Every structure is written in C-alpha cells, then in structure tokens.
Chain A
Amino acid sequence: MLEKTVNEMLAKTFPDEKVTATVDERRIVHLAGECSTYQTLIDVGHAVAHVEGVRNVVSDMTARGVVMKKKDYTPFVEAGEKKGVVEECDVLIVGAGIIGCGIAREIAKYNLKVLVAEMGDDVSTGCSKANNGCIHHGMAVKPGTLKSEMNRIGNKRYDDWERELHVGMIRPGYLEVVTKMEDLPKVYARFELGLKNKVPGMKILTPEQINEIEPAYEQNGIHPVAALYLPNFGLVETPYVCVALAENAATNGVRFLFNTTVGKVLTEDHKIVGVVTNKGIIKCRYLVNAAGMYADDIAEMAGDRLFTIHNRRGTIAIFDKATPPTFHIPTAILSGLVKKGKNVESKGGGMHPTPENNLLIGPSAEEVPDKEDTETYEWGVDYCMECCFQDPLLHKGDIIKIFAGARPADFMEDFTIEMSDVTDGLVHACCTQSPGVASSPGVADRTVGIIVDDLLKKGEDVHVKPDYNPYREKPVEFRHMTREEQDALIAKDPRYGRIVCRCEQVTEGEILDVLHSPVVPHSITAIKNRTRAGMGRCQGGFCQPRVLEIIARELGEDWIKVNLNGEGSNILVSANREEGDEQ
C-alpha cells in the first residue's frame, strides 16, 4: 500500500525520472534508478521522505553524469583480519566528532570499558571540523521533531559542559529584527514557532530595548521597529568542544583509537559482537554509530540499512580580527532580506562573531554527491557575502580563511537516535546535521540512556564509578590573561614567555601543555584546534615551522613524519640535497 503511494507520488511529481521505490516491512523506502541531475536525486529523496507513513529513505539512486562514490572497505578489513583480535570492550563508539566525543564523555562515568574508533588522526576531523559553531536557540526547527527536542535539551546542557569542561562557549543571544511595521507579523510568527519548540526566555523587544542591548543597528543606519530576542543562543569552536569532551572522557578511562577505520561489523544471531578495523578486530557488546557522514555505511555493515546520508556542504569565511563583527549579538534582519537559492533544509547563511571575536560568515548549503567533498568555490563565498547584512565596512579582502565543511543529512531531515530494531547492541546516533552541534549534549544523554537502560533491563550491574571526575581543568590561555597574570605565569614557567603564534599570541608553554594532555595531538591542525596556533591572519606562515619543530621534539618524531592533518599530509618530503649529491 505504502509502496504504491510512494510510486504514484514519484510518477506524478517526477514524471521524467526513472526511479522506482520498494518498501520493506519496516516502512523503509528503498529508491533505485537514475535521476537526471544530482539535485533531482536529492529532491526525490526528500519528496519520498515527506510521504506519510514513511519511516526512512535508503537510496541507491544515481544521477546522470555524476560519479556516486562508495567507499571501499576491503583493504581495511583485510588488514584487520590478519591482525586478529586486538581489543575488547563493552562499548565501541565509531566516530570522534562532537557526537562521538559527547557520548564518550557522558558514558565515561559508568563502570564500562569504552573505546572510540576514529578514522581521522584526531577528534573532530569530519563534519565537526568545519561549521559555524552555533548553539542554536531552537526556535527555527520543525516542532515535534527529534531535532527540536535535542536542540532544546542540548542548548541548555551546554551550561553544564561549559562549567565542568570549559568548552569555550559564549551566549551572546540572537536577534531577529524587522525594520518595517508591515513585517511585524513575522516577529510574532517566529515567537509562536519558538513557543511550539519550547524555547526559553524569548522576548519581543521595542526599538529602545533593542538599541540598549545592540546599538550597532542605529549606528549603521538601521532602524528596527521590533525584534525577537533569543537569549539562549550560544557560540563555540566545535573542534575545541570535541577536544574538551575527549580529554575528560580519556581522564575517566575512555581510550581513543585514531587512524582506525571500521570496515566490517561482526554479529552473531543479530547481536553485535565486534568490528573489524584496519588496526585489528575489536570485540564489543555495544556499537555506537556516531560515524557522521559514513553512518549509513556503518548501519549497513551492521545489517540495519535504515537511512542514506548525503553531504550538504557549507562554505565559511573568517575575517581578520581587525575587521570585528558589526553586531556583537548575532542577527537576522527579516525585512527585505533576499537570499538567493536558499536551501530549505538547512538554515545556513548569517554572520556572527566567533567566541574569539573573529567575524564569521556562512555557511552556504550546497548538495554535493561526494561525502568527502569539502572543496571551496567562489560562488560559495559570494553566497555567504550576500546573506550578510550589507555592511559597507565588510570587504572580501579582509577574509583570512575560506573553508568548507560537510553536513551529514538524511532524507527525513531529522536525527536518528535509537537502538536498532534488527541488530541488538547497535545504537544509532546519526543524521545529526544542523543543529547537530547545539544538540550534541542532548544526543549524548539520550544515547547513553539507551545503553544504560538496556544493560539494566538485562540485569547487569551498571553504576557511576566512584572515581568519576566530571571536571576538566581550564587550560592556560595566555591571550586572555591580564599583564600581571602573564608576568606571574612566565615567572613560574618561562616556557609561557615565548610566543610561538604571534597572530593569536599562543605561547610555547600552551603547545607543550596540549602535547602532554590526555588526548595527544600529532598534527599541525590538531595543535591548531587546541591552542589556536596558526588560526590568525598569517595562517601559520610564521609559526608552522616552529610548531612542527616542537611536535617533532616532544613526540620524538622525524621532521619529515610530522603532518598537517593525518597520514599523507606531510609538510616536508625529504632533507635537503647533501653536499656532492648529483643535481
């Protein structure tokens, strides 16, 4: 019946597309066939997801002239099977992005042996690496979705993460402003939507009240007539949150296995028993699928093909600190703002400060077929510029970094956080595209709850460890100290007296601190994500050789082995020609 409905809808809405749908007993729609363009493929997936009764959508569709890459796990499996069993644990988390790290941190409090398998060389190398770090207010999500609930819980729980772990969050709040009286209903409509999403603390402000908390409007000749104020909106640097979570998890006994790709999931009688990775076989009882962009592959390996993930790329640009953000409260102007070709499924766009007060614009929202495609294009940046308030002081020439990240979206456009109903012990924590960062504490709590409940149900003794330490000490941040504090610190340890990254004022002492932290960074980028060395206007031009030298020295590595962001990204290829060498 559902299959008929879906196919009829497809024939009617996409008469020219050669796509067929089959529906299984779990109401999961499998789509196959060739679409005329990649965007059509995405549109077909979304249209099917909207059909009432559909639980989720799995796609084997292709698009004409488009290479649909599928990752080949054979070499990883072959390497791992040769090595045999190398580890055993209760819970194996796949993926050390903000979802995996959050789960690792929250489950670390229990008397369970937990490992994290991450294909990258560090935490936060996939989707978490490149996003705008918004702790969304949760007003704009679709009410009634899991996203809405996770956003609400996650947003609030960031206060705990900040207090206990120093994840570097700020809460500047958010303003949605109208400048024309006829747009006033827009503000009320957004307020209503916020009520449905149970957003706390919302207020509708008068022009006077707006000017009081954000004088930049009047200063820039914008005259708001009203605004919706969302005080719970926050900002983080996502990779840094991942580091804080992982360090605390590691302190409480979780081990992170980097450069470790899961290529096969081992089950016995529809029950998880382990995985095969390139580093060997890891036996486990629970497998947490927090694999982000590759969560559909992990699900499929575990016999639970539940969804298909597609990459919604976001291009972002960061400005020089000499061009500070116009508004210290992130802003959307609802009047007269035309956003060209805006992706309806991801908010995107915008301009706001980062927690370190760089101006950030973006991200864009671009559907791309390759999961690892984080290429930048000029039009991506132009889109971000157009989405911004047209600040005459905003010049593309003040951009210091352009990059792009990936959003792991499924076709339902909602999160999947559940115990698999076909493979016992498989717990999904995926499809966490925007607002994934904001939701991550909620996702972590829910995922851990599923596992703990299941263990209790099975009559196992699961309890909080007596030596559990929920706190992570605040690391030294030289740049944020007073001159007196800096002086005292250098007197105590002269290594803080040497600046390595001059743009961001990062000292050698801070780099040494992270090189001897619970989750040791090995690459230039891993150091950057922890300390900010290389994040400034010269983009590592001056400090990269110094950072490379310190990594090599502290970790006892050859200079040639030190890389930018994992295997294959070496900075140097060889020593200079020896004297007398042939040219």
Chain B
Amino acid sequence: MKNISVDIAVIGGGPAGLAAALEAKEQGAGRVLLLERDGDLGGILQQCIHDGFGLHRFGARLSGTEYAQRYADMVRATDIEIKLDTMVIELTKDRVIYAMNPTDGMMRIECGAVVLAMGCRERTASQVFLYGFRPAGVLTAGSVQRYINMEGYLPGKTAVILGSGDIGLIMARRMTLEGITVKGVYEAAPHLGGLMRNKVQCLDDYNIPLHVGMSVVRVHGKKRVEGVTVAKVGPDFRAIPGTEEFIPCDLLVLAVGLIPENELSRGAQVEMDNKTRGPVLDNNFMTSVPGIFAAGNVAVVFDLVDYVSASGAAAARGAVRFLKGELGGACEYRPVTAGENVNFVVPQRVRTDAEGPTSFYLRVRQPLKKVRLVCEEEGKEIASVRATHAAPPEMMSFEAKLSGGALTVSVTEV
C-alpha cells in the first residue's frame, strides 16, 4: 500500500474543494492534494449547463460548466496535486485518509489538515414516503440532468416534477427545451422551494404550472411509470381526502431536497448538527475534530455556488492556520445562536480567541418582507444587513468582525 504524506488534503473536486485547494495554495500551504472520485473536476457543476453562476464571485453570468472550468484552470496552473477517479473510503480522526484508484491502488495518506468538500446527494422516493409501485421512470432531478446533459438521452416523454427546489425548476425548463412535456411542478410546502428568479425564468416563461401545497401521493405502473396521483396536502404533508387527481405521465422527477454526504465525517467522529445535517463548525470552518475542516454542501446545503466557493476558501484559510499551529491547544467555544426567525446559522460556534472578519450563512424560518438582520455579540450589535425580503430557500450571508463572544443572529421585519 502506498504511503503518502501531505500538508492539506481536500476531499472532493467540486466548487468547494476547488476553491479550498486554490486558497490553501495561495495562503502558502506546501503539499496540497485534491482527491476527486469522478473522472474530471467540477463536481455536479459538470452537468449544470444553465447559466446564473458566478455573479458574486466573477461578476459574470456563467454556466456551471464555465464556472467550474475557471476554477479548474486556476487550480491546474498551480502545483496542487490532483488525483481523479480517486475514491476516499475512510477518514480517521487522526487525519489519515484511505483512498483508492485504478493506478495507485489503495493509498494511506497522512494529512496535516483535511478539508471535507464531498457535497451532497439527493433525497430518494422512499425518503419522502412515496408509496405505490416502484417502476422505471422515477428519477431524481440530478439523475435526469446527468442523463440529458452529459449522456445525451431522455428518460421520458411526459414528466411531473415533485419539489420546487432550484434543481426541480431548472429541470422543468431543461426538459421542456428537449421536447419533454412537463405537466407541472408540485410542492408539498405552502411556498416555493427554490429561488424566485428560477421560478420566473424556468416555469413562468414556459407556462409550466406550479402547484404549492400539493404533492405526489402515489406512483402508478408496474414496469414503467404510467401516472401519478397528486393531492392537496395539509400542514402535516398528508393527502387531504377527496383532493386526489390522477395525472398520466411516464416520468416522475424528484427534486425533494439534498442531504450533505457526511459518511466520511461520521467515520472520523466529527460532531454533527441535526439542523444542517453537516458538521458543527467554528469560525475557522473547523469541525469538532482538530485539523478537519468542512466547506460547501457537505457543511450545509447552499443555494449559490458563489457561497460554496467562499466557504471553501474560508475553510482553507482555517486549515493553513491550523498547520501554522495557530489553532492548536485547548480552546473554548461560544455558541452562535439562531435568534428570532432564524432557522440556523453556520458556523455554529466561535472560538473565544476569534478575531477579525468572518462570514456567516443562515436561513430564515418563513418568508418575511423588508427585513433587518442583526448579529449581536454578547448583546452588542456587531453587524447588520437590510434586505427587501427574506425567504427560507434564499440563504442570507453577512460578515462580522469577531472578538470571541457568544453571538445571536436574528432577522426581523422592519
């Protein structure tokens, strides 16, 4: 078995991992190793041929593939080592990675610091308790996107989409452009799951109806989907009897949420946050295990790739500080509390020796109009942001200068 020793290993070559590797290099890290299980860099961006990426990061309206290419080019211009087709199968709390690929075989990689950037996966039919038969033609939106955009095949002729998250909206438009009839997008929650601009550009412009407060409650067809039963649902997401309606279709696309892929993190005994389903992070994006950092969708499901990249860079800065010994030794944490109207805030805690500007990401609990976000440290306001509206699908971000006290973040209508 090959033994390798590196300063920083980044697990995952998607937007978070690319940004992390690049920033680690820029911050002066020595040997940086980027491990990617796919045959190419870019992660899920490789199948995102729609535009809207990079408005914050590059000030340009890029496709996902273009955005990934810019980062991949920057990474390849450095001496960052890239291992493609490489699967990490274990990470220990002592920062030893076991990874494998066809040419190197099994590798044991000792790491000074590790940045987790494995991204997320899609929730499946059973996970949203979709009952009925289990025929072909029930696919997650990501799988449909891969089949159409990367493989060049259509998985159906007439589709119903369950879930109005961004990927569901994007796929409604994409399928329509490829000649698939999209009967409608059904959203069990009482409000849109994705960004408003995606609803306008992907549904309204193509006359695709959005049905909020409705869900797919049964799948019909033994071999291939023949149709679905949709129904209005109550606040408990259960079908309201008498509202059922059969819709013939041969494809059910599931866009019912994303789950951070933290199996490696759990193996390394990283403490998890039940809300974000990602690791509990501090202001350096370090997990509860010293020297293991996390960024991007493995930490919390973001909406904008620009935020994903920014979190990757933040985690890399933390990793470099760790290598320099600046984060060593015992330390104490103060909590970051989700205050009024706030569902969660990432990072979840700050070190008492924290100083300087740090970015935070949060989601509100329900749609709000004309809002003011306030971050208080030990009762003292240290940051505030105003916005015309806030909604659960749209992540909010702010930067605050820390001095190590407990934080409370709240969003109120003004």
Contacts and interface: CB of A to CB of B under 8 A. Distances in A.
B405 to A, nearest CB: 35
A395 to B, nearest CB: 11
B105 interface: yes
B322 to A, nearest CB: 26
B140 A577 contact: no
B121 A541 contact: yes
B136 A376 contact: no
A39 interface: no
Interface in B72-126: 85, 87, 89, 98, 100-106, 108, 121-122, 124-126
A563 B153 contact: no
Contacts of A505: 89
Contact of B136 (A491, A494, A564): A564
A489 B178 CA distance: 43
B151 A559 contact: yes
B289 interface: no
A559 B136 contact: no
Contact of A559 (B105, B146, B153, B250): B153
A568 B224 CA distance: 6
A539 B87 contact: no
Find the residue from A564, A566, A572 having the highest chain B CB count within 10 A: A572
A322 B131 contact: no
Nearest to B150: A545
Contacts of B105: 486-487, 490-491, 497
Please classify the interface of chain B as helix (H, G, I), strand (E, B), loop, or mixed, using the class held by over half of its residues: mixed
Given A376-B131, A568-B223, A571-B136, A486 B100 contact: yes
Interface stretch (B154-162, B297-305, B306-314, B337-345): B154-162
Contacts of A498: 85, 87, 101-102
Contacts of B133: 374-375
Interface string A507-551: 000000000000000000000000000000111011011000100
A183 interface: no
A542 B151 contact: no
Contacts, number: 134
B37 A572 contact: no
Contacts of A572: 147, 153-155
B135 A569 contact: yes
Given A402-B131, A572-B154, A577-B179, A538 B121 contact: yes
Nearest to A403: B134
A484 interface: yes
B330 interface: no
B134 to A, nearest CB: 6
A424 B142 CA distance: 57
Interface residues of A, number: 56
B132 A375 contact: yes
A539 B125 contact: yes
Contacts of B85: 498
A185 interface: no
Contacts of A541: 121-122, 124, 140, 142-143
A132 B135 CA distance: 21
B334 interface: no
Interface string A356-376: 000000000000000010111
B175 to A, nearest CB: 11
B331 interface: no
Nearest to A567: B223
Contacts of A538: 121-122, 124
Contacts of A486: 100, 105-106
A576 B178 contact: yes
Nearest to B157: A573
Contacts of A390: none
Contact of B126 (A399, A571, A575): A399
A505 B89 CA distance: 8
Nearest to B151: A545
Contacts of B106: 483-484, 486-487, 490
B132 A376 contact: yes
B222 interface: yes
B131 A377 contact: yes
B40 to A, nearest CB: 14
Contacts of B143: 541, 544-545
A464 interface: no
A113 interface: no
Contacts of A487: 1-2, 100, 105-106
A289 interface: no
B17 to A, nearest CB: 16
Given A499-B100, A570-B136, A372 B152 contact: no
A545 B136 contact: no
Contact of A322 (B104, B223, B266): B266
Contacts of B323: none
A378 interface: yes
A490 B224 contact: no
Contact of B127 (A377, A399, A560): A399
Contacts of B222: 372
Nearest to B262: A322
Contacts of B137: 571
B70 to A, nearest CB: 25
A312 B106 CA distance: 48
A571 B177 CA distance: 20
A497 B102 contact: yes
Contacts of A574: 153-154
Interface in A376-405: 376-378, 381, 396-397, 399-403
B124 A497 contact: no
B42 to A, nearest CB: 15
A171 interface: no
A573 B122 contact: no
Contacts of B134: 376, 403
A570 B124 contact: no
Contacts of B263: 322
Nearest to B90: A483
Contact of B224 (A569, A575, A576): A569
A50 interface: no
A575 B152 contact: yes
A502 interface: yes
In the complex, the 10 A-B pairs of residues with the closest C-beta atoms, listed nearest first: A497-B102, A494-B102, A487-B106, A568-B223, A564-B136, A569-B136, A490-B105, A569-B223, A499-B87, A572-B153
Interface of A: 317, 322, 372, 374-378, 381, 396-397, 399-403, 483-484, 486-487, 490-491, 494-495, 497-499, 502, 505, 537-539, 541-542, 544-545, 549, 559-560, 563-577, 581, 583
Given A572-B153, A572-B154, A581-B179, 14 more contacts: A381-B129, A400-B124, A400-B126, A403-B134, A487-B100, A487-B106, A490-B102, A497-B105, A545-B151, A563-B136, A570-B224, A571-B155, A576-B148, A583-B179
13 contacts: A397-B127, A400-B127, A498-B85, A499-B89, A505-B89, A541-B140, A545-B143, A560-B153, A570-B136, A571-B136, A571-B155, A572-B147, A574-B154
